[in-house]
Structure 1
Amino acid sequence: MTELIDALRTAVSTGHAPAADIRLALAGTDDPALLRKAGRALAPLTDPAGELRPVRVSVVAGCTVGPYEALLRARLVGAGALPKITAAPYGAFELTLATGGFDAASDLIACVLDESWFLPPELDFAEPQSAADHLEDRLRQLRELVTAALSTTNAMLVLHTVPLPGHVRDTMVSLRARTALTRLWYRLNTGLLELAEEFDQVQVVDLVGLLGDAGVRARDERLHAYADLPYTDGALLLLADGVRRVAQARLGLSRKVLAIDLDNTLWGGVLGEVGAEGVALGGLYPGKSYQRLQRTVRALRDQGVILVLSSKNDPEPVEQALSDHPEVLLRPEVFSASMVNWDSKAGNLRRAADTLGLSAQSMVFMDDSAFERGEVAAQLPEVALVDASGEPAQLVTSLVRGGWFDVMELTGTDRRRPELYRARGLRKDFSGGFGSTEEYLSALDLKVVIELATPFGVARAAQLAARTNQFNLTGVRFDEVSTRAMLADPTRLVAVVSVADRFGDEGIVGAAWVERSADTWHVLNLVLSCRVLGRGVEFAVAGWLARQAERAGATRLTGAFVPSPKNSVAAGFWEKAGFEALGDGLFAFAPGRDPDPTPSWIPADDGPADQATTHELPAGG
């Protein structure tokens, strides 16, 4: 695809980020040769407009990595990131980790290992059990290196499972000995995977599993002998993809919405032609493949993915089929928005995004029609596309292999998200019967709880920092490690914001990170989910911070606004909250003297200073 490389080179030469459709094309290709060229072409990429999310990556390897840096760069740009990649010197794996000899400001430390780092120098092929102590010792040494490295950085360290080369295994002529060595190697990889459970800052890519699923050769013996390169380009691409998924989740670049077609996607056949009883669903092939896709989509929803039904059909027969067909696993109520009509699918996706209060960039669209996908690609190039045509047995793999919906950790709010967005649609319908915005907001029975973050809320606060773009005042994305450290720092404060109303509990929807001294409190960042914008919650947070600062004896509360291509909705917030503009994006408020910005429909009731604070409207408004 010379067109793709040419488009990337044009973007680099003109000083622009590649367009959304070009990035998605980059994300969708699995050709290592093409991605090597792409990664090299993207090396000087800049992004003055701030369309991409910056990410600093240190590559630390115990072996030769060949084109890994170029492959990783291509995959990260495809995910919407602007990578700055630095590689530690060859042969300095242990020294680099032990001494923190990598970029301390890194977001990710991507490690590359092969079997040579773990196997004893002289393996006794007749007695593989003799290698057990050596493997355990190397795993212990790696754990110590990880501990040392993480003591110097907030970065996420990414390891991977290591394949055992076939020639090592097959050199053992005893089948029993071969089985014993394989068992020891599985135990080693289990130990590697357990490091992700032991350390919050460690993720482990299962390279061994990926190689098996993809049917890719791990090693080219000639290249290994010639250049000491332990992995093929295909294997390195699988590893780069695994690291990309970690980066995507950590940076908040994952998608939230799956918009999905019905005919020949969620079931086989066209409903309008064969009727509900005639569609292929459940039973034997191909019906079992469509039901397997429905089961997978339901599992994604159970983990927080918002579902939108997008089908060119008459709504009544669709509603009846989804409600009555005994093999349907996705009933009408699981969809947070339903766009069943004869309008263009691009227009329907726009309306769904508006109803949900999300951007089209948060969407994945799965459809079997090349025409429909093409129309969406032309009008909404930021929407990720999944091809549902072809072999029905491949539908599930086509949907999940991209890792579009990955998160670092699943929170309670994630699991409730589909219902929260469904309630948003009901809330929008409810708003039509009131004469004024304030009358409507008063009738919502809003309950806003602002409280100091606890260790249980850290993951959600960090997730909001990573994924919130619209109401994100400074763009500083405090991760889980730095947020947790602030909880124990008397000069810092982290507050989380929960919202509920007559339509349901939204959970934790906002967070504020504050630096405080005796005289001045400074808001390092304030983020708020777009789900609750327009209800005055952000002004209640400003009021709570002002009152808490006053109780602590501070006479000044300051905040900043740093504009980005996506946070224009937050522009002017500080001024609207009564803060005075000081210049250079800084604003100030005098607690106790300036008027409290808390809206009238969210009465202030703080409770003890520095304790959980509730703003609650009495029942009935």
Structure 2
Amino acid sequence: MSQVTLRRSRYAHLIDLPDGSALAIHAVSQARLKISCEVAELLRFFDEPTPFKTALSQLAAILGADQEPIRTCLGELTDRGLLTEQDPETEAAETALGLAETQGRDPVEILDKYRRTRMEGAHPYWSVAAPRTVADSRAFRHRIDILLLGDCDLQMETDFLRREAERRGIDLRAAASFPADTALAGERKQDAILIGALQSRHAIVAGDPEHHGGDPARVYVDDMETMLNKLRALSSAPILIDGLPEPTVQPLGFADRGSHSHRNRIRRTNLALSELAERYTDVFLVDTAAALGEAGSVALLDDGLVSFTHFGSPGWMLQRPSDERAAVHHQFPDMQPLADHLGGDPYRREAVMARAHMDVLVTVLGVDRKKCVIVDLDGVLWPGVLAETGSPFAWGPDVSSANSFVGLYFGIHEALLMLRRRGILLACVSKNDEETVRRLWQYGQHYPRHRLLTPDHFVCTRINWGDKAANIQSIADELGFSLDAFLFVDDSERERERVRHALPDIAVLGEDLFALRRALLTDPRLQPVRLTEEAGQRSALVKAQLDRSRLRNAVADDAGFVASLNVVATVERLTAGNATEPVLSRVAELVARTTQFNATGRTFTLDELRRITDAPTGRVFVLRMRDRLADHGLVGVAVVRAGEILNFVLSCRVIGLGGERALLDAVLADHGWDEPVLTGRIVQTDRNMPVRHLYAAHGFQVVDEGYWRTKAPADMAHA
């Protein structure tokens, strides 16, 4: 970008606002961005075309800022079309090209579609945004494009979502519209779609049981199902459904009981929504009631203020425009008590729900997913130093309840065991004498052993007097994971800071042991989308892999060593009969989690996998392997469509055992290809070195950088 000349787009307009900020509007796309006065000054700087390199140094001097955030800010403004490298004539021609389909059709309608596909933000009346500053601009690790379909409760959350995403290192781009605007899902590619509460929620609490056939949720759930079907016809992106908030007041009070009470009708609807979501692949329910309840629903819901089913925020009343007071003859109580009740933050509801929505997005999209939790021992798994206390605990039923002080540590053990069941690996580092720790790490018969960790639960241990950061690096090397796949827990501030400084990609916890159990159980980076059989067995399989590596290191002849393992590889093509949801879930999980032997980095939703499996030109092949040390399960995937291998993935657990040959042979030998050749692609990353020679080693010929081809089906299978 340093060689280009930038100018302000001919379609970029600035409107100065009373608070000193400005509104940047793209006249054609209708993209709107509230910006600070310094960003507005930056935009106006390019009223005259200026070379990027020259502008960077001049703007740094004018704004008194470092060049790097200015560089990133200029990139964002260019990405949004407010700055451009094009001259006015070229820009106009390209815009006209984007509107070329107006020929023979209503140009107003087509312009509206053009705007919608490039829109960012919410309906202007409900747009709540803090101005973007130069300091806000930074490099992000991830980008998520999301479509919000809902009313004011969801649309007002747009900017809060963006800022919550920024806090997590994510560049989130949100377009928002009304629930009826499902067509927007087909006009722009989205990473996810979020549906807010529908208007038919008012029907849930209307009438007696006989008026709705005994099922108060039916109308609402039918509405949601219709909407899901429309969206699924347009997009395969994961869909998040907002559950309904649980009411804080009952219209008929204590007397309103039973399954058809006001509150229970909402609860039954949420349960029905959960069951509806499970009937679809890649549709998930957001537990709105739990998110608001945890933060204190009374201050976040207005059913105690204005309406039983509006389910907005009481804080909105503090933000209403003054002209709406005409409805009450311009007479209204002092709103200070309401402000006090809300703690001075009229938009806490939006912030709470933005966190809840980002948690689900991070989980569903696998952003920053952690594969291994590394824990310190002394002070985390037990109180004090084990070598000094002589035992993990001095507990017995005669001393206290298991939920007393000792329960804090039992709870941490239990949380880590639950992570293990989710497929998260456990490892430990401790400055200690290993023989002493292993000898003393024992529990009496009266202990709840099913809730407590033993050394056998850990795939790697580093119990020595070495530097913890170095020990963590050695665990990463042994497991073959990148550092950002780990979370480290230590009660020592010095050790935490040492690891943060030496290994900045590792997430670190341990500041508050009282919050640790909840953090481990709720962190979205530690949440699988679904539990699979392979996930529950992952620790045992990784241990077998490490044992195999140690045996390999002791043998000089690799080929002889592999032969001694008695490896059995089985490849199966998925069809309508065997492509069950657990199998497809495992396929999607493996493709998303694998970074080393991953040819293209492309991931797939369950719906995409099912469509490819069902298509005449589509194929999904899965590889299962076992040897004398372990049954490794489903460890390889090849996804093929119209003669192109869209991705080829092999678990790091079985690299070096020849599984890739068996899988690729099955792809090449499959009958029924309509394409004369089979093509594959290698998209190089800093982590996928093991897959780089996949096609070259198996008879494919390079046709372009990263692209390979061979004849299909069987004539090259044993090249």
TM-score bracket, shorter-length normalisation: 0.7 to 0.9
Aligned match for 1:455, one of 569, 572, 579: 579
Asked if structure 2 preserves the Cα contact closer than 8 Å seen for 1:96 and 1:102, the reply is no
Q: Which residue of the partner structure matches residue 193 of structure 2?
A: 109
Asked whether the 8 Å contact 1:59–1:111 carries over to 2, the reply is yes
> One-letter code of the match for 1:425?
L
Structure 1 pair 8–244 and aligned structure 2 pair: CA distance change class (3 A):
farther
Query: What is aligned with 1:96?
Result: 181
Maintained 8 Å contact 2:544/2:630: yes
CA contact (8 A) 2:622 2:663 kept: no
Does residue 1:197 correspond to 2:274, yes or no? no
Aligned AA for 1:272?
A
Question: What does residue 545 of structure 1 align with?
Answer: 667
Seen in structure 2, the aligned counterparts of structure 1 residues 204 and 277 have a Cα distance that, compared at 3 Å, is closer
- Give 1:423's match in structure 2, choosing from 544, 551, 563: 544
2:621, 2:655 → 1: CA distance? 18
2: distance between equivalents of 1:10 and 1:419? 49
| 1:434-449 to 2 correspondences below 5 Å | 434-449=555-570
- For 2:700, the equivalent position in structure 1 comes to 579
| Residue 242 (str. 1) matches residue 356 (str. 2) | yes
CA shift for structure 1 position 128:
9.8
The answer to whether the 8 Å contact 2:387/2:437 transfers is no
- Matched AA of 1:108: A
**Which residue of structure 2 aligns with residue 296 of structure 1?**
415
CA distance in 2, matches of 1:564, 1:162: 42
Instruction: State the one-letter code of the partner of 2:419.
Output: L
Structure 1 residue 62: deviation in Å? 2.1
Aligned residues of 1:312 and 1:343 also touching (Cα < 8 A): yes
How many angstroms does 1:545 deviate by? 2.2
Amino acid at match of 1:12: T
Question: What is the SS of the residue equivalent to 1:455?
Answer: coil
- For residue 227 of structure 2, what is the amino acid of its counterpart? L
Cα distance in 1 between the residues matched to 2:630 and 2:663: 20
Secondary structure, counterpart of 1:250 in structure 2: helix
- Report if the CA contact (8 A) 1:246-1:408 is conserved: no
Contact map agreement 1:323 1:332 (CA 8 A) in 2: no
The question of whether the paired residues in 2 share the 8 Å contact of 1:36 and 1:74 is answered with no
CA distance in 1, matches of 2:485, 2:611: 30
Measured in 1, the distance between the counterparts of 2:474 and 2:387 equals 24
Secondary structure (helix, strand or coil) at the match of 1:573 reads coil
1:148 deviates by 2.0
Between stretches 574-583 and 240-249, larger displacement belongs to 240-249
* Partner SS for 1:119: helix
- Matched letter for residue 480 of structure 1: L
Percent identity over the alignment?
24
Deviations 1:429-481 (A, max 9, x none): 11122112222222222111111123132111111222222222122212211
Correspondent of 1:12 among 61, 72, 79:
72
Residue 555 of structure 1 and its aligned partner are, at CA, apart by 5.5
Aligned residue among 141, 148, 154 for 2:223: 141
**Shift in Å, 1:371:** 1.2
Q: CA deviation at 1:293?
A: 1.3
Contact 1:497–1:511 under 8 Å retained in 2 = yes
Instruction: Supply the AA of the counterpart residue of 2:280.
Output: F
Shift of 1:287: 0.8
Q: 1:367 is matched with which residue?
A: 490
In the aligned structure 2, how far is the partner of 1:496 from the partner of 1:38? 49
User: Does the CA-based 8 Å contact 1:496-1:512 persist in structure 2?
Assistant: yes
Alpha-carbon distance in 1 for matches of 2:272, 2:136:
35
Alignment correspondent of 2:49: none
- Aligned: 1:223 with 2:337: no
Q: How does 1:31-42 map to 2 (within 5 A)?
A: none
With over 3 angstroms needed to count, the CA separation of the structure-2 counterparts of 1:61 and 1:596, relative to structure 1, is: same
Q: Determine whether 1:265 maps to 2:373.
A: no
Greater Rg over alpha carbons, structure: 2
Change (3 A) 1:324 1:286: closer
What secondary structure, in the 3-state scheme, does the structure 2 residue paired with 1:235 have?
helix
- Range with bigger deviation, 365-374 or 440-449: 440-449
Q: How does 1:360-439 map to 2 (within 5 A)?
A: 360-387=483-510, 389-390=511-512, 392-439=513-560
CA distance in 1, matches of 2:622, 2:240: 29
Indicate how the Cα distance of structure 1 residues 578 and 77 shifts in structure 2: closer, same or farther if over 3 A, else same: farther
Any idea what the Cα deviations from partners look like across 1:288-344, whole Å, max 9, x if unmatched? Answer: 110111112112212211110222211122212334455461121111111111111
1:269 is paired with a residue whose SS is coil
Find the aligned partners of 1:342 and 1:561 in 2 and give their Cα distance.
43
Whether contact under 8 Å (1:292, 1:396) holds in the other structure is yes
Shifted more, 315-324 versus 172-181: the winner is: 172-181
CA contact (8 A) 2:315 2:347 kept: no
State the alpha-carbon separation in 1 of the partners of residues 474 and 638 from structure 2. 31
Q: 1:455 to 1:123 in 2, by over 3 A?
A: closer
| Contact 1:355-1:424 at 8 Å conserved across structures | no
2:201 aligned partner: 118
Cα offset, 1:109, TM superposition: 0.7
SS at match of 2:645: strand
Contact 2:363 2:525 in 1 (8 A): no
Question: How far did residue 263 of structure 1 move?
Answer: 1.2
The CA RMSD measured in Å over matched residues stands at: 3.5
* Contact 2:185–2:235 under 8 Å retained in 1: no
**1:493 alignment partner in structure 2:** 619
Shift of the 129–280 alpha-carbon distance from structure 1 to 2, 3 Å rule, reads: farther
Q: CA offset at residue 252 of structure 1?
A: 2.9
Q: Shift in Å at residue 412 of structure 1?
A: 1.1
* Residues 376 and 490, structure 2, Cα contact 8 Å, conserved in 1: yes
Deviation readout 1:147-185 (Å, 9 max, x if unpaired): 22222211111112222554xx35x35421377212222
Aligned partners of 2:696, 2:226: CA distance in 1, in Å? 50
Q: Structure 1 residues 222 and 213, CA, compared in 2 at 3 Å: closer, same or farther?
A: closer
Match of 2:439 among 320, 330, 343: 320
Q: Report if the CA contact (8 A) 2:668-2:716 is conserved.
A: no
Say if 1:554 and 1:45 are closer, same or farther in 2 by CA, change over 3 A.
same
Cα deviation for residue 525 of structure 1 reads: 1.2
Q: Which residue is 2:120 aligned to?
A: none
Q: Taking structure 1 as the reference length, what is the TM-score of the superposition?
A: 0.80
**CA contact 1:310–1:338 (8 Å) conserved in 2:** yes
Give distance in 1, aligned partners of 2:393 and 2:235.
59
Q: Which amino acid aligns with 2:425?
A: I
1:238-290 deviation line (CA, Å, top 9, x unaligned)? 33333323332333332111111111111122112211165679835321110
Deviations 1:474-532 (A, max 9, x none): 2221221111112211211110111212210111111111124xxxx321211112222
Secondary structure of 2:695's match? helix
CA offset at residue 407 of structure 1?
1.6
User: In 2, are the aligned partners of 1:269 and 1:280 still within 8 Å (CA)?
Assistant: no
Alignment check: 8 A CA contact 1:42 1:74 kept: no
Could you tell me which amino acid in structure 2 is paired with residue 500 of structure 1?
A: R
Of 242, 248, 255, the match for 1:176: 255
Provide the aligned length of Structure 1 versus Structure 2: 552
Contact 1:270 1:279 in 2 (8 A): no
Correspondence list, 1:268-283, <5 A: 268-276=383-391, 283=402
Distance 1:135 1:573, change over 3 A: closer
Secondary structure of 2:537 counterpart: helix
Q: Secondary structure in 1 aligned to 2:272?
A: helix
- Distance in 1, Cα, partners of 2:366 & 2:286: 19
Q: CA deviation at 1:201?
A: 3.0
CA change 1:571–1:178 in 2 (3 A) is same
Answer whether contact 1:267 1:280 (CA < 8 A) is retained.
Answer: no
Q: Residue 483 of structure 1 is aligned with which of 604, 609, 623?
A: 609
- Would you say 1:556 and 2:556 are equivalent positions? no
> 1:206 is matched with which residue: 267, 287, 292?
287
Pair 1:239–1:280, CA change in 2 (3 A): farther
